[in-house]
Amino acid sequence: MQTDPAKDVEGRSGASPGVPADAPSTAEHLEVVPRRSAWRFLPPLIVILIALQILESIVFNPRFEWALVGSYLFSPVILSGLAMTLGLTVLCMVTGVVLGVVLAVMLRSNLWIVSGFAKIYIWFFRGTPILVQLIFWYNLAALFPDLSVGIPFGPRFFGIDTNVLVTPFVAAFLGLSLNEGAYMAEIVRAGISSVDSGQEEAARSIGMTHLRAMLRIVLPQAMPFIIPPTGNETIGMLKMTSLVSVIALSDLLYSAQAIYSRNFQVIPLLLVCCCWYLFMTSVLTVIQGRIERHYSRGRHGGGPVGGGH
Amino acid sequence: MSVHMVEARGVEKRIRQLDILKGIDFHVDRGEVVSLIGPSGSGKSTFLRCINHLTKISAGYLAVDGEAVGYRREGNKLYELSDAEIAINRASIGMVFQRFNLFGHMTALQNIIEGPVQVKREPAAQARERARQLLDRVGLAEKEGAYPSELSGGQQQRVAIARALAMQPKLMLFDEPTSALDPELVGEVLDVMKGLAADGMTMIVVTHEMGFAREICDRVAFMDDGRMVEVGPPAEVFGNPQSERARAFFARIL
């Protein structure tokens, strides 16, 4: 019953341009002339000049040794460093996301000791520099020569020499993923709290437990808020892995450093690193853009349910 | 059976220093349709939420179908139930919310089968079959693939009613089901509720729709300031209110 009058109105207004008597005949012949400033060529000119200057000083500067850069770009040492960087990024991000979800759920716990633990965790790992944390993990043996499992202040069941367990790789993995967990917790928490609390109430009213409501109803709707910043975190993590070179883990940067400490070609090898980092972040940026478009297009959840409010 | 569907004795709710419910004595019989009316802040919605334990009571005794809500009675002691046990009890109490609260990432049909499949572990095909019948019953047979954001408020609320009915509840709670609706959409939701009442469903409805309360309900309970001030058949409560507060309230809204 509502659509009929609406169509009527549209029909009438749609017909009016067709009526020649109503339209002023001269209107069709008027041309719009945009204002053109005499200075409009200046900004592009400046940009082009600057670009040429950069091109000359970088690309045609012999001291950049582009030929050397090219020869090292695919050298086995660099490629194995690249594999380490990529592997570490993936491993630490996956662990960080899992930790983040766990911590975010803990933050919402009614038990103050559980939410308090999560708060202190986040406070500590966000409040100290990641570089310091990495060095700390690397030197864990100085604090705890033996690691053992047992009851606090009670008997120990088994132990292991810390230096055997905490290799540079384990130190890097622990440092980066524990740190990432703290940041991901904040992202997941923000995503969860952007889902209307009525969603969980409705889930519980049909007999779901707290956990099932979280997994089936709340988290899926928090995803559009969680995934884009997680993409940012992944790109950040990729670059952050270069910090592990200080604890002698042979990632991309450390591999380059290993080469230039022998042949002193510092700049070309750093350029090799830059090329690879830029390539990988570019690929990740494209993927992130795809994912974001996917979520903004097919987004059924997210905002408060109940259009018309 | 003489067991009431809902029985409340001295139910109190305190949030920090604030007394929301100040001792509610009330019962609802099987098949009865009761509406809770009263000014906002009188505790109507809080009392309704206590009935399926979305809100915990601070004192008193509240039972649904003879079983204490959220507790297990053994002798003179009430043992608090676990999250899972409370969830099982809630599954047999349907609830319809003011803001619909349909699951935004699911279609109308998925919303309806979510409870039967995930909670009751019904086979999906059987749940879908019944969900389609329910959608037909609320007049939305052709909307099974629509997401909540593609439905009007009235349509969303009717899907929400179907979602609650899919759990085959013995009791339905309505928390201001038409308050968030545009005026021209109120009727379609009330019609579905009238149909439910005619089928013998036990219903407790918090509402500002005095016409619905008067026409459909067996009894009306007027609440004010955390107390149930007047309870009785609509003709009595509306026609001859005993308390000054009820008279003042009706004078303002009727």
Of B101, B115, B147, the CB nearest to A207: B115
**B181: which residues sit within 8 A by CB, 6+ positions away?**
B153, B154, B157, B189
For the segment A8-34, the average pLDDT, to the nearest whole number, is: 57
- Cβ contact (<8 Å) for B91 and A198? no
What is the distance between the alpha carbons of residues A279 and A74, in angstroms, rounded to a whole number?
A: 13
Which of A204, A205, A208 has the most B C-beta neighbours within 10 Å, making it the best mutation to test the interface with B? Answer: A205
Measured distance CA(A228)–CA(B198) in Å, rounded: 50
Mean pLDDT of A265-273: 91
Inter-chain Cβ pairs, chain A and chain B, closer than 8 A: 103
Contact A302 B83 (CB under 8 A): no
**pLDDT-based confidence at residue A89 (cuts at 50, 70, 90):** very high
Option in A196, A204, A308 nearest B54 (CB): A204
Place of tokens 């939410």: A115
Q: Is B248 helix (H, G, I), strand (E, B) or coil?
A: helix
Q: Is B109 on the interface with A (CB under 8 A)?
A: no
- Taking the CA of residue A215 and the nearest CA in chain B, the distance in Å comes to 12
For chain A, the residues whose C-beta falls within 8 A of a C-beta of chain B are 196, 198-199, 201-210, 212, 216-217, 220-221, 300-309
Instruction: Give dist(CA A172, CA A302) in Å, integer.
Output: 36
Query: What's the gap in Å between the CA of B90 and the closest CA on chain A?
Result: 5
> How far is the alpha carbon of A206 from chain B, nearest alpha carbon, in Å?
5
Of A30, A75, A134, the closest CA to residue A268 belongs to A75
pLDDT one-digit tens code per residue, A226-266: 988 999 999 999 999 999 999 989 999 999 999 999 988 89
The predicted pLDDT at position A166 comes to 80
Tell me which chain A residues have a C-beta less than 8 angstroms from the C-beta of B148: 300, 305-306
Provide Rg for chain A, Cα atoms: 29
pLDDT reading at A73 higher than 80: yes
Give the distance from residue B185's alpha carbon to the nearest chain A alpha carbon, in angstroms: 12
A215 contact partners, CB below 8 Å, separation of at least 6: none
To the nearest whole number, what is the mean pLDDT of chain A? 84
**Structure tokens, B228:** 């149930």
Domains and CATH numbers, chain A: 64-149+157-298 (1.10.3720.10)
Confidence band, pLDDT 50/70/90 cuts, at residue A15: very low
How confident is the model at residue A30, as a pLDDT?
A: 84
Q: Is A304's pLDDT higher than 60?
A: no
Residue in A202, A208, A306 closest to B87 by CB: A208
What pLDDT score was predicted for residue B169?
95
pLDDT at residue number B202:
96
CA-CA-CA-CA torsion for A138, A143, A146, A150, nearest 10 degrees? -110
Q: With both helix axes pointing from N to C terminus, report the angle between A219-240 and A76-107 in degrees, rounded to the nearest 10.
A: 140
Q: Does B79 touch chain A (CB under 8 A)?
A: no
Between A266 and A27, the higher pLDDT residue: A266
- List beta partners, residue B171: B93
Chain A closest-CA separation from residue B144 CA (Å): 15
Residues of A in contact with B115 (CB under 8 A): 206-208
Predicted local distance difference test score (pLDDT) of residue A14: 43
The answer to whether the CB of A162 falls within 8 A of the CB of A146 is: yes
Test B105 with A220 for CB contact under 8 angstroms.
yes
The pLDDT score that the predictor gives to residue A27 is: 62
Set of chain B residues whose Cβ sits within 8 Å of the Cβ of A201:
54, 97, 101
Q: Is residue A9 over pLDDT 70? A: no
As a whole number, mean pLDDT of residues A17-29 equals 56
Which residue is it, tokens 């004192």?
A: B59
CB contact under 8 A, B99 and A220: no
Q: Which helix (H) or strand (E) holds B174?
A: strand B171-175
Of residues B95, B101, B149, nearest to A199 (C-beta): B101
Per-residue pLDDT at A275 exceeds 90: yes
Classified as helix, coil or strand, A254 is: helix
3-class secondary structure, B74: strand
Exposure string (b/e) for B135-155, b if CB count within 10 Å is 16 or more? bebbbbeebbebbbbebbbbb
**pLDDT recorded at residue A13:** 44
- Residue A37 reports pLDDT greater than 80: yes
Contact B163, B140 (CB under 8 A): no
- Please report, in angstroms and rounded to a whole number, the separation of the first and last CA atoms in chain A: 23
A6-10, A77-81, A295-299: lowest mean pLDDT where? A6-10
Nearest CA in chain A to B155: A306
Using CA coordinates, name the residue in chain A closest to B154.
A306
Percent of chain A with pLDDT over 70: 87
Q: State yes or no: pLDDT of A309 exceeds 50.
A: no
> Stretch A186-204: mean pLDDT, rounded?
94
- What does the block give as tokens for B140? 């939305």
Q: What share of chain B is helix, strand, coil (3-state, %, to 5)?
A: 40, 25, 35
Give the pLDDT confidence score for residue A4 in this predicted structure.
Answer: 46
Residue A18 binned pLDDT confidence (cut-offs 50, 70, 90)? very low
In terms of C-beta distances under 8 Å and separation of at least 24 residues, what long-range contacts does A140-148 make, across chains too? A140/A166, A140/A171, A141/A166
Q: What is the CA radius of gyration of chain B?
A: 18
pLDDT (0 to 100) of residue B87: 92
For residues A14 and A6, give the distance between their C-alpha atoms in angstroms, rounded to a whole number.
Answer: 12
Per-residue pLDDT of chain B (254 residues; tens, 9 = 90+): 568 999 999 999 998 888 999 999 999 999 999 999 999 889 999 999 999 999 999 999 999 998 888 888 888 888 889 989 999 999 999 999 999 999 999 999 999 999 999 999 999 999 999 999 999 999 999 999 999 999 999 999 999 999 999 999 999 999 999 999 999 999 999 999 999 999 999 999 999 999 999 999 999 999 999 999 999 999 999 989 999 999 999 888 87
> What confidence tier does A297 reach under pLDDT thresholds 50, 70, 90?
low
For residue A302, give the nearest of B100, B104, B182 by CB distance.
Answer: B104
Instruction: State how beta strands B33-37 and B203-206 pair.
Output: parallel
pLDDT tens-digit profile of A150-184?
777 777 777 777 777 788 899 999 999 999 999 99
Distance separating alpha carbons of residues A288 and A137, to the nearest angstrom:
31
Residue A17 in this model has a pLDDT that exceeds 50? no
Q: Do B156 and A300 touch (CB under 8 A)?
A: no
pLDDT at A308: 35
Q: How far apart are CA A294 and CA B176, in angstroms?
A: 36
Residue recorded with tokens 């690309």: A59
B199 part of contact set with chain A, CB < 8 Å: no
pLDDT tens digits, residue range A123-139?
Answer: 999 999 999 999 999 98
